[in-house]
Amino acid sequence: MKTGIIGLPQVGKSSLFRILTKAHVAASANPRDAHIGVAKVPDDRLDRLAAQYNPKKLTHASVEYVDLGAIGQEALKESAYLGHLRQVDAIIHVVRAFEDDSIPHVGTIDPLRDIKNVEFDLMVSDLGQIEKRMERVEKDLKKMRSADIEKEFELLKRAKAHLETERPLRELEMTPEDKKRFRGFMFLSEKPILYVLNISESTELGKDLENAVQKFKLGEVASKPNSGATAICGKVEAELSEMSDADAAEFLSSYGLTESGLTRLIRKSYELLGLISFFTIGEDECRAWTIPVNTRAAQAAGAIHSDIEKHFIRAETIRWDQLLEAGSEAAARAKGILRLEGKEYIVQDGDVLHIRHSG
């Protein structure tokens, strides 16, 4: 799962990327190159299980981030930029909300305006692609009628009309069949999007982060389908990322915060993608695995290894907090709270699975 970071020039994209992935990107690097890095998904539940099991290895889930560089009509015409952007599964749009006269910005600080402008550019790019495709399909239809091509043409027409009312494709109602038809196009305005307000630092940062979405009037855009909004303070996060865990905790509480904005952001992008985690635990390794919501147990086992999916028998299952309370799997089994689930069981966020297989 890849998440692309976009935004207008100088809004804090690369700073965010660096803190997310702890990557050291050379300042001289070509700004047109996309940088790819992996972020660990913080998970307090897994940490607590690991504290009980004391495993040799602790593995968190991870999300891949791509720093795409500044967006604009020009960038969207470059095939390299477009190519990178098309490949991502979701978008983080970093929006300037911090005050700093030394860092230039196009116009006043107005997050909603910036969001609308960038969204517009994404839609124009999709519209161009749709029009090109429609010409092609129309020609094909003249040569030969086919139900499949006709359906595609109808869908393209509907998408075009939708875009012309300035609504992104992620707000277009589509059947699973429509979605499949569109998959190959990798439309930009169809991708799930998380707006991230980069706000000023303040002594009341906890409250400011909490209120930012409302203050900058993002409530409406964030409530649209496959959309979300959150806030961070890039400056404070950069300082936090240099600290030990203990120092960071003290620093956070001095700002009235219980968790870093980054933790919340990573969790939000996970949610936006419709992803959840289940855990496997043992003395060798405690580990989080990433699956889409509504995944059945056998497929979930496939996230670990395809052989385990093939030879799946059943999954011993317990919620992470129940296991923690019981103290061990053996104790949980004795208490009768360890469930035996079959292939069809829908795995829940926070389940601990022990998969029995014949492979």
Ligand X SMILES: Nc1nc2c(ncn2[C@@H]2O[C@H](COP(=O)(O)OP(=O)(O)OP(=O)(O)O)[C@@H](O)[C@H]2O)c(=O)[nH]1
Interaction with ligand X in 40-69: which residues (CB under 6 A)? Answer: 69
Nearer to ligand X, 106 or 313 (CB): 106
Nearer to ligand X, 92 or 272 (CB): 92
Q: Say how far apart CA 181 and CA 156 lie, in whole Å.
A: 10
Interaction with ligand X in 125-184: which residues (CB under 6 A)? Answer: none
H or E stretch including 120? helix 111-143
Binding residues for ligand X, total number by CB under 6 A: 18
Q: How far is the CB of 214 from ligand X (least distance, A)?
A: 19
Structure tokens at 217: 């009037």
Asked whether the CA dihedral 163, 167, 170, 173 is positive or negative, the reply is: negative
Q: Establish if 189 lies at the interface with Mg ion (CB under 5 A).
A: no
Q: How far is the CB of 268 from ligand X (least distance, A)?
A: 18
Q: Which stretch binds ligand X (CB under 6 A): 8-16, 107-115, 117-125, 348-356?
A: 8-16
Q: Establish if 14 lies at the interface with Mg ion (CB under 5 A).
A: yes
Q: Which stretch binds Mg ion (CB under 5 A): 7-15, 106-114, 149-157, 213-221?
A: 7-15
Nearer to ligand X, 10 or 241 (CB): 10
Q: Can you give 265-313 as a three-state secondary structure string?
A: HHHHHHHHCCEEEEEECCCCEEEEEEEECCCEHHHHHHHHCHHHHHCEE
Q: Among residues 198, 260, 277, 290, which is the contact residue for ligand X, using CB under 6 A?
A: 198
Structure tokens at 344: 């069809």
Nearer to ligand X, 72 or 292 (CB): 72
Amino acid residing at 70: A
Nearer to Mg ion, 78 or 131 (CB): 78
* 180 Cα distance to chain centroid: 21
Beta strands per DSSP E along the chain:
2-6, 35-40, 57-59, 62-67, 90-96, 193-198, 227-232, 275-280, 285-292, 312-319, 339-341, 351-357
What would the x/- binding string for ligand X be over residues 218 to 257, using CB under 6 A? ---------------xxx----------------------
Q: Which stretch binds Mg ion (CB under 5 A): 9-17, 102-110, 206-214, 250-258?
A: 9-17
Nearer to ligand X, 261 or 350 (CB): 261
Q: Among residues 3, 4, 13, 221, which is the contact residue for ligand X, using CB under 6 A?
A: 13
Q: How far is the CB of 266 from ligand X (least distance, A)?
A: 18
Nearer to ligand X, 18 or 287 (CB): 18
Query: Do the Cβ atoms of 231 and 257 come closer than 8 Å?
Result: no
Q: Among residues 47, 78, 100, 307, which is the contact residue for ligand X, using CB under 6 A?
A: 100
Query: Do the Cβ atoms of 116 and 95 come closer than 8 Å?
Result: no
Strand pairing partners for 277?
A: 290
Write the CB contacts of 64 (distance below 8 Å, at least 6 apart in sequence). 1, 2, 3, 36, 37, 38, 39
Q: Which stretch binds Mg ion (CB under 5 A): 10-18, 159-167, 284-292, 329-337?
A: 10-18
347: left (phi over 0), alpha (psi -120 to 50) or beta: beta
Nearer to ligand X, 65 or 312 (CB): 65
Nearer to ligand X, 37 or 350 (CB): 37
Q: Establish if 263 lies at the interface with ligand X (CB under 6 A).
A: no
Alpha carbon distances (Å) from 87 to 4, 285, 292, 302: 9, 32, 19, 24
With b for 16 or more beta-carbon neighbours within 10 A and e for fewer, the 101-139 pattern comes to eeeebeeeebbeebbebbbebbbebbbebbeebbeebee
Q: Establish if 262 lies at the interface with ligand X (CB under 6 A).
A: no
Asked whether the CA dihedral 341, 347, 352, 354 is positive or negative, the reply is: positive
The footprint of Mg ion (CB under 5 A) covers: 13-14
The footprint of ligand X (CB under 6 A) covers: 7, 9-15, 31, 69-70, 98, 100, 103, 198, 233-235
